[in-house]
């Protein structure tokens, strides 16, 4: 991957909208190999203790045996943990079992099954691309993709994993990608990246822990995590600089550090952000693309956050979930819909804002209509009492008047056929107005987003108010 810097206004990659971050606090307590100061690293007791001590994410290392079984281990050899001189990739899983007896390591598939609702940060330690493919397949089979963030220092491994997982799993930057990002920062430029997180050592002389660097990452839509910090004062300094997460051997210490900070500093909430509703409040999911995600805007200025502010002001006890993903098509939205049906989401309303990228790619309008209908029907099947709203969209005139007319007709036709509420074109007062759009001429500014929110709210508010109070 080459250096991709730009003079354009930095645009966010909407890290916060990635499924991995949904339901997690803004600042993550990430247990390094579990609570590894108080229990043997990569043991069930270390993982259980970490969760008891306040960790939200288990940060785990992966190695592969000769026959491709993924095990939880940091070192390349079994010497330190099992007293055996061999490398993991020299032994089959059965050979490991026969030589380790009751000290047998954990397999990743066992951990996924034992902790079905826990978020995992998985670091691939091996350099073989085949291991990346094995991990991608296992996460898919185990339906664990939405709750995993994958890391690797090796660029080739990370590239292979992203390709094998089809971009469905959040990733952090590999070593060379970190260096390229840092170069863009030093040049004062934005950059185009395929990852949602920078996971960094605390190298002060490079400026990696400076608040200015963290702010630069946030402007690109990238979160910043640091490893491995057990000292409470150092943790506090990093959090005050804007860190989004810290990996620690002592989650209990970090939990106390986070709790002692002012709420705004601990939560990373910018001034003026809408107060966060309760985590178990009834949810309104905004399923969309970059227009929903808030590309180029702080999270507090993205559309779901602006609707949240209106809900709060109206005394309506709902929480909004930003399900926007930049570049997503109607097919992509359908593919990730199940994530919002999980037990921890009390989905009461779905706002569908998909179709813009279908038009930009010239995709089949018939397929667009079918995908939207499937999203609606699937939601009705899984959440029969949920309100469903569909944006009406229009497309660029340069695609031809016939295509534009047929495209615009898809949305009211689907809404009528599936009997859902149609939201008139939310960008009606914004599209084409350079004062209300960012430099790309496509994505609204904060002021433009407020106008979009007004049009959506005009349909959403009466429907929600007519429902019994949650």
pLDDT in tens, 79-93: 888 888 899 999 999
* Confidence tier at 468 by pLDDT (50, 70, 90): confident
Residue 341, Cβ density class (10 Å: 0-12 exposed, 13-18 middle, ≥19 buried): middle
The domain 5-267 belongs to what CATH superfamily? Phosphatidylinositol (PI) phosphodiesterase (3.20.20.190)
Least reliable range by pLDDT among 54-68, 178-192, 255-269, 392-406: 255-269
Burial degree of 25 (CB within 10 A; 0-12, 13-18, 19+) = middle
8 versus 422: the higher-pLDDT residue is 422
What are the two backbone dihedrals, phi and then psi, of residue 76, each rounded to the nearest 5 degrees? Answer: -75, -25
- Residue 70 three-state SS: strand
Query: CA separation (Å) from 1 to 159, 177, 180, 181, 460?
Result: 9, 8, 9, 11, 43
What confidence score (pLDDT) does residue 281 get?
A: 85
Q: What is the pLDDT of residue 410?
A: 97
- pLDDT exceeds cutoff 80 at 30: yes
Question: What pLDDT is attached to residue 18?
Answer: 72
pLDDT of 273 higher than 50 = no
Domain spans, the chain: 5-267, 283-465
**Which residues, 6 or more positions from 315, have their beta carbon under 8 angstroms from its beta carbon?**
none
Would you call 50 exposed, middle or buried from its count of C-beta atoms within 10 A (0-12, 13-18, 19+)?
buried
Matching fold, domains 5-267 and 283-465: no
Residue 161: per-residue pLDDT: 97
pLDDT digits (tens, 9 = 90+) for 64-123: 999 999 999 999 998 888 888 899 999 999 999 888 877 889 999 999 999 888 999 999
Phi, psi of 133 (to 5 degrees): -65, -40
Please give the Cα distance from 194 to 181 (Å, whole number).
11
Active site residue 440: yes
Element (DSSP H or E) covering residue 5: strand 5-6
Active site residue 165: no
Residue 131 Cα to chain centre, angstroms:
23
Q: What is the pLDDT of residue 455?
A: 94
Q: What is the pLDDT of residues 392-435, one digit of tens each?
A: 999 876 677 888 899 999 999 999 999 999 999 999 989 989 99
Q: Which of 67, 280, 338, 440 is catalytic?
A: 440
Topology of domain 283-465 in CATH is: Rossmann fold (3.40.50)
- The helix (run of H) or strand (run of E) holding residue 58 is strand 57-64
Residues 247 and 228: beta-carbon distance below 8 Å: yes
Q: Catalytic residue, from 17, 43, 290, 330: name it.
A: 290
* Dihedral sign for Cα atoms in the order 192, 198, 200, 203: positive
Choice among 159, 218, 225, 443 that is catalytic? 443
Give the pLDDT band of residue 467 (cuts 50, 70, 90).
confident
Q: Are strands 347-353 and 387-391 parallel, antiparallel or unpaired?
A: parallel
Looking at the chain, the whole-number percentage of residues with pLDDT higher than 90 is 59
pLDDT for 277 equals: 62
Residue 460 scores a pLDDT above 90: yes
pLDDT tens, residue by residue, 302-342:
899 899 888 887 888 899 998 988 888 999 899 989 989 98
Average pLDDT, the chain: 87
Lowest mean pLDDT among 128-132, 188-192, 300-304: 188-192
Would you state the pLDDT for residue 469? Answer: 65
């Amino acid at each position: 991957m080459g250096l991709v810097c730009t003079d354009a206004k930095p645009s966010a990659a909407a890290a916060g909208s990635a499924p991995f971050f949904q339901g997690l606090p803004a600042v993550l307590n990430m247990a390094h190999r579990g609570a590894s100061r108080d229990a043997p690293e990569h043991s069930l007791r270390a993982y259980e203790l970490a969760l008891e001590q306040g960790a939200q994410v288990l940060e785990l290392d992966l190695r592969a045996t000769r026959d491709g079984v993924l095990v939880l281990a940091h070192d390349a050899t079994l010497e330190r943990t099992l007293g055996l001189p061999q490398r993991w990739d020299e032994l089959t899983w059965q050979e490991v079992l026969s030589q380790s007896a009751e000290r047998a390591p954990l397999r990743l598939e066992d951990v996924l099954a034992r902790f079905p609702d826990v978020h995992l940060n998985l670091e691939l330690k091996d350099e073989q691309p085949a291991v990346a493919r094995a991990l991608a397949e296992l996460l898919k089979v185990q339906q664990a993709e939405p709750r995993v963030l994958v890391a690797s220092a090796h660029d080739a491994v990370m590239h292979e994993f992203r390709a094998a997982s089809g971009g469905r799993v959040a990733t952090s930057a590999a070593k060379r990608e970190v260096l390229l990002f840092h170069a863009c920062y030093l040049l004062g430029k934005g950059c185009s990246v395929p990852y949602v997180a920078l996971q960094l050592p605390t190298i002060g002389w490079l400026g990696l822990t400076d608040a200015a660097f963290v702010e630069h990452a946030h402007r690109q839509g990238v979160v910043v995590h640091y490893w491995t910090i057990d000292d409470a004062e150092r943790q506090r300094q990093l959090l005050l600089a804007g860190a989004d997460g810290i990996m620690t051997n002592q989650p209990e210490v970090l939990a106390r550090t986070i709790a002692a900070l002012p709420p705004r500093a601990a939560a990373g909430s910018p001034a003026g952000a809408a107060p966060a509703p309760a985590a178990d409040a009834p949810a309104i999911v905004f399923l969309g693309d970059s227009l929903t995600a808030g590309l180029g805007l702080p999270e507090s200025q993205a559309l779901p956050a602006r609707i949240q502010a209106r809900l709060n002001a109206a005394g309506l006890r709902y929480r909004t979930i930003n399900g926007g993903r930049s570049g997503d098509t109607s097919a992509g939205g359908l593919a990730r819909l199940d994530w919002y049906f999980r037990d921890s989401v009390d989905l009461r309303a779905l706002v569908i804002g998909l179709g813009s990228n279908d038009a930009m790619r010239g995709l089949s309008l018939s397929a667009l209509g079918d995908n939207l209908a499937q999203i609606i029907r699937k939601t009705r099947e899984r959440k029969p009492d949920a309100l469903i709203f569909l944006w009406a969209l229009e497309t660029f005139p340069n695609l031809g008047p016939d295509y534009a007319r047929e495209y615009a007709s898809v949305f009211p036709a689907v809404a009528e056929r599936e009997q859902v509420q149609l939201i008139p074109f939310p960008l009606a007062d914004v599209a084409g107005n350079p004062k209300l759009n960012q430099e790309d001429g496509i994505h609204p500014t904060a002021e433009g987003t407020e106008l979009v929110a007004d049009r959506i709210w005009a349909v959403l508010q009466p429907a929600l108010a007519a429902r019994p109070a949650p």
